[in-house]
């Protein structure tokens, strides 16, 4: 009988050996680029997991919610960057967290928020440091490279009460790539443009000491640009099918999976039914535009061995439907295997962040594949 047989499904499995190897790989890359790592813990959302993989609480970290800032800050992680554009309604909580001794830094991309932070700092006497976001690839938000006057204006507004901590960029466009050369070009573009904007601020008289860049694909790129002080990345700890499709990891490097159980079968349609629907897997379809569509997840056997071209093709709230990948077997005979009811399977996620957040616990597997412990996750904003 499998060591996982007693787990109630669906549930989230975490292979600590794979996670450790992924962390070691990132650390080697960051050291080769002569800067610091500020890991993004929005995927992890677990104090125990963070302490394990980072070796304690001394590491600077990145978060995406104030809930994360609060939980990690109160657990001992003090150097925290909240890397989502802040809104005025959240500033009172920011001040409260800073007064607890948490060195919480913010991200801004507008004149309005620079004014709001300066006003809140003056009102409370709590100086709030902030990064200004730079738009390096048109992916989402930030100050465009040709908006240098606007950049300086935002910095001036911020320093009326707050504190300019640095500039920051996220090369989110890299997620649409799948060629190593193009990813390196994206990483060079991200780094050089962000350093350039830092130099614009310095030339204008601002003390811009911190230059923060990062996305998992560009963080792992084999480049080095002088002037970058830190790299942010998060999903690299787990990886997922999107990252495998981008080409920055192999499917075998993916550290999390959803354990599920076969609970039905449709002989006519050659469909396997399992008890993991979108409530367990998420509805993320991040591989849909990649060369290989993984639908709602790639299927593995109970030991984590990938079952090639067996995918979750449909989900409802608590049901998943598994078949051989549509289009597969046109040149060769291929059929969905008949798996008895009660068979346990693992599903590799499209997007680790989206899948992990559906669950409250990591069931941790050690290097021998044994259930070692359970790590609690937290959720909310």
DSSP-assigned letters across all residues of 39-77: -B-TTT--HHHHHHHHTSS-S-EEESSHHHHHHHHHTT-
Q: How confident is the model over 204-231, as a mean pLDDT?
A: 96
Query: Which percentage of the chain shows pLDDT scores above 70?
Result: 98
pLDDT surpasses 70 at 1: no
Q: What is the pLDDT of residue 314?
A: 97
Instruction: Give the pLDDT band of residue 2 (cuts 50, 70, 90).
Output: low
Q: How far apart are CA 281 and CA 144, in angstroms?
A: 36
The widest CA-to-CA distance across the chain, in whole angstroms, is 72
Mean pLDDT of the chain: 95
Domain architecture of the chain: domains with CATH: 33-234 (3.20.20.10), 255-376 (2.40.37.20)
Q: What is the pLDDT of residue 140?
A: 83
Q: Per-residue pLDDT tens for 155-169?
A: 999 999 999 999 999
**Contact yes or no for 164/208 (Cβ under 8 A):** yes
Paired tokens of 237: 């700890």
Instruction: Give the pLDDT band of residue 308 (cuts 50, 70, 90).
Output: confident
Paired tokens of 8: 């109630």
pLDDT surpasses 80 at 38: yes
Instruction: Give the pLDDT band of residue 327 (cuts 50, 70, 90).
Output: confident
**Contact yes or no for 29/233 (Cβ under 8 A):** no
Residues counted in the chain: 381
Question: Dihedral of the CA atoms 40, 175, 141, 65 (nearest 10)?
Answer: -30
**Contact yes or no for 127/121 (Cβ under 8 A):** yes
Q: Per-residue pLDDT tens for 246-297?
A: 999 999 999 999 999 999 999 889 999 999 999 999 999 999 999 999 999 9
Q: How confident is the model over 140-165, as a mean pLDDT?
A: 96
């Amino acid at each position: 009988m499998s060591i996982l047989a007693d787990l109630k499904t669906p549930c989230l499995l975490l292979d600590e050996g794979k996670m450790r190897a992924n962390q070691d790989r990132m650390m080697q890359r960051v050291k080769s680029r002569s800067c610091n790592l500020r890991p993004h813990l929005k995927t992890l959302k677990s104090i125990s997991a963070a302490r394990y993989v980072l070796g304690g609480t001394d590491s600077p970290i990145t978060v995406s919610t104030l809930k994360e800032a609060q939980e990690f800050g109160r657990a001992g992680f003090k150097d925290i960057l909240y890397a989502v554009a802040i809104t005025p309604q959240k500033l009172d909580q920011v001040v409260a967290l800073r007064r607890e001794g948490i060195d919480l830094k913010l991200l801004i991309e507008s004149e309005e928020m620079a004014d709001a932070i300066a006003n809140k700092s003056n009102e409370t006497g709590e100086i709030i440091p902030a990064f200004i976001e730079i738009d390096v690839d048109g992916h989402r938000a930030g100050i465009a490279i040709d908006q240098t006057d606007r950049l300086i204006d935002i910095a001036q507004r911020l320093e009326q009460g707050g504190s300019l901590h640095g500039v920051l960029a996220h090369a989110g466009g890299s997620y649409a790539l799948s060629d190593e050369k193009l990813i390196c070009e994206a990483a060079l573009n991200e780094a050089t443009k962000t350093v350039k904007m830092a130099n614009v601020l310095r030339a204008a008289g601002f003390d811009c000491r911190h230059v923060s860049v990062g996305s998992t694909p560009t963080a792992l790129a084999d480049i080095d640009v002088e002037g970058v002080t830190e790299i942010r990345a998060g999903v690299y700890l787990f990886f997922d099918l999107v990252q495998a499709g981008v080409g920055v990891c192999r499917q075998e490097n993916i550290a999390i999976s959803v354990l599920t159980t076969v609970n039905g079968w449709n002989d006519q349609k050659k469909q396997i039914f399992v008890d993991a629907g979108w409530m367990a897997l998420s509805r993320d379809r991040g591989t849909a535009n990649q060369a290989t569509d993984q639908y709602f997840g790639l299927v593995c056997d109970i030991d984590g061995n990938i079952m090639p071209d067996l995918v979750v093709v449909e989900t409802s709230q608590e049901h998943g439907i598994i078949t051989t990948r549509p289009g597969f077997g046109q040149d060769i005979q291929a059929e969905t295997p008949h798996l008895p009811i009660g068979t346990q399977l693992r599903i590799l996620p499209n997007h680790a962040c989206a899948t992990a957040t559906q669950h409250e616990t990591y069931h941790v597997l050690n290097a021998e594949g044994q259930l070692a412990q359970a790590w609690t996750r937290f959720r909310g904003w």
